[in-house]
Structure 1
Amino acid sequence: MDIINILAINNWEKASLEDLSASLKEKNKSLITYSWRNFNKELSPLSLYKLLKAKFGVANGICMFSKSETTENLIHWHYTFIVEKNEIHFLGKSSGIEILLKLLPDIKFEKNDWTILIDNIKSSYSQNGESMKRIQSDFEKYTLFINPFSRLKDTLTSQVEELKILDIKEIQRIDAFNASDKEREEYYKSFCKLPQKQDSLKVDK
């Protein structure tokens, strides 16, 4: 089997528990690993997840066994597929999508083959559009709202920071009769700036 057939979605089979166990054993260390990350956002994590779930069911990767029922997981979903002893891993991480190919040494793989895989995935969206819509309709719905206490805290914090930046110390008084011309000039400049600083402290209502 060549790389073209390995990257063809219709040839993928979900890895069984036996396959997952075998992939952790020493005998599979001979597989050569190639990694791709979605740096340029060629793939939508949501669309990819809907496709994989619509076509193959729930995620089955080894990372799912340690996943907690919260949004704080580093890896949110993980699919593993087997194509004649070669492995394909899809990981939905907080930082984005990562795809791992673990191939037998005799499989020739080139950098441009990632484009073939991405194109295969994108072309599958239209073929599985109805199933993907049904998957999305089952997603848990969330309602977003603005926390007024958090907003108040942010406002106060911002104003306190502005107060710290402003130099509102009282102007040091001078003896006008004994001060030099330079000291009187500096005092006058500081005195003129005082109303500007006070205006900066006013809060718009």
Structure 2
Amino acid sequence: MENYFLGLEAVHPSCLAKIITGDKLPKKAIIWEFTNEIKPIDLYCYLQVKYGSPNGLQNFLRNDSSDNLIHWEWSLAGQFGIVSIQGHNFRTEVHLIGEHDGKGLTLEDFIQQIKADFKNHGKSMKSVRVELEKWTRFLNPYHRINSVVAKNIKSLNSLDVKVDEDRELVKFHEENLPKLEENWKYVRDKYDNAIGITFGLRSMLPVLAESFINLIIFVLAKPEIKKNERLLQNTIRQQIDIRVQSLHLNCIGFTRPIDYTDDVCKKFHTLMNERNDLLHGNVEVNKLKIGEVYFKGKVPVFVGYEDMWQSAMGISLSSVKYNTIFDDHAVVTNFIEFILDHLSKDLKEQVQYIMTNSELGYNPANGRLGSLFSDNIADFRVSVNEA
């Protein structure tokens, strides 16, 4: 129907409640969904300009936060009943309540009529949009790395690596012979996974700590550093030990300097140096050696015999330092807690909250940092029964 959706009128919420709960309005409904055929921000500004603030009942049911299933709703009255327009997390919904069925109305009509009317309200829509706060959504690198580390630690634990017991399974004992091939496959698969996970963790643990330090600087850098891009980049690009020892100088909230001679920092620094050798593929024989052997011409003369286990699994386990990976994880977590303990109580709590958010928001207009949305994503659908 031509321009039906342009002739709608806003309804006072009290009247709307009476209409919806009364006996005169048929309990029939049609629900349309669309995503970006009309951008949600354009639709919001248009409805705000044409009908004032959102007046739908859902506005009174929402929490005073961004953690809602329905964020805004306009309810409008027309010839055939109520048209409610709702902004959800993943779509816009249009609910037609009343006698709309059989009137030839379509979602395409709604979209075309609204978009065609933009030209009549463009200037006012722009004014509404300017009044909205613009936030840049970005992923929290610390949270992302920490989540991967936690999942890998859990996976490594679930493999139930028990070197002494697994080694016994593949020894050439008489009782092992019937299942020796099967046991070797079981052990090989388990340890291939363990070695791969450990190698990944070995690479990520120092990055986890470094991402934490960079997050601290991003969140707590002093105003004169934050507003000067060159100063900020210079602060972030310093060597990790300099960054740590300068936190109390470059950031707010630190009650005392970081003592980098503390054993917690010494262990962390050792971990960082090992990471550099690993990532850069440094060839340092003393750090990479796995044993010694003598030769008489082309005849090897072993210093000592190794069993097949040591050649197949032991060397690989040693190369990724499997035996210390859980201790190294503790080194990083202890280091992070050590830094947090140097913050004032209120800022420590704020930073800890930020650390738990996978997504953050940044307001470039005023430099504010915020948690915009819950990490719990939810959606729902309304089932409409035919009368």
Q: Which of 23, 29, 32 is 2:28 aligned to?
A: 32
Q: Which runs of 5+ in 1 are unaligned?
A: none
CA contact (8 A) 1:14 1:82 kept: yes
2:132 is matched with which residue? Answer: 139
Q: For residues 179 and 88 of structure 1, do their structure 2 counterparts lie closer, same or farther at Cα, with a shift above 3 Å needed?
A: closer
Quote the RMSD (CA, aligned, Å): 3.6
The within-5 A match list for 1:66-81 is 66-81=61-76
How big is the shift at 1:50? 1.4
**In 2: Cα distance, 1:100 partner to 1:77 partner:** 13
Structure with greater contact order relative to length (CA < 8 Å, sep ≥ 6)? 1
CA contact (8 A) 2:13 2:56 kept: no
**In 1: Cα distance, 2:57 partner to 2:176 partner:** 80
1:120 is aligned with what amino acid? Q
CA contact (8 A) 1:166 1:197 kept: no
**In 1: Cα distance, 2:20 partner to 2:88 partner:** 21
**In 1: Cα distance, 2:24 partner to 2:321 partner:** 68
Deviates more, 1:21-30 or 1:133-142: 21-30
Q: Which of 87, 94, 108 is 2:102 aligned to?
A: 108
Q: Where is the helix percentage greater, Structure 1 or Structure 2?
A: 2
Deviates more, 1:152-161 or 1:194-203: 194-203
2:308 is matched with which residue? Answer: 188
Spell out, residue by residue over 1:13-71, the C-alpha distance to the aligned partner (whole angstroms, 9 max, x if none).
Answer: 11124531332233233253211012x64232222111111222100111222233211
**In 2: Cα distance, 1:30 partner to 1:179 partner:** 80
SS of equivalent to 2:2:
helix
Q: For residues 108 and 176 of structure 1, do their structure 2 counterparts lie closer, same or farther at Cα, with a shift above 3 Å needed?
A: closer
How big is the shift at 1:120? 1.0
How big is the shift at 1:201? 6.0
SS of equivalent to 2:53:
coil
1:67 is aligned with what amino acid? R
Q: For residues 100 and 147 of structure 1, do their structure 2 counterparts lie closer, same or farther at Cα, with a shift above 3 Å needed?
A: closer
How big is the shift at 1:169? 3.0
TM-score, normalization: structure 2?
Answer: 0.42
How big is the shift at 1:88? 1.0
Q: Which of 83, 92, 114 is 1:88 aligned to?
A: 83
**In 2: Cα distance, 1:72 partner to 1:197 partner:** 46
Spell out, residue by residue over 1:155-177, the C-alpha distance to the aligned partner (whole angstroms, 9 max, x if none).
Answer: 53033135236574314247769
TM-score, normalization: structure 1?
Answer: 0.73
CA contact (8 A) 2:29 2:95 kept: yes
**In 1: Cα distance, 2:141 partner to 2:108 partner:** 47
**In 1: Cα distance, 2:308 partner to 2:150 partner:** 33
Q: For residues 20 and 176 of structure 1, do their structure 2 counterparts lie closer, same or farther at Cα, with a shift above 3 Å needed?
A: closer
Q: For residues 84 and 175 of structure 1, do their structure 2 counterparts lie closer, same or farther at Cα, with a shift above 3 Å needed?
A: closer
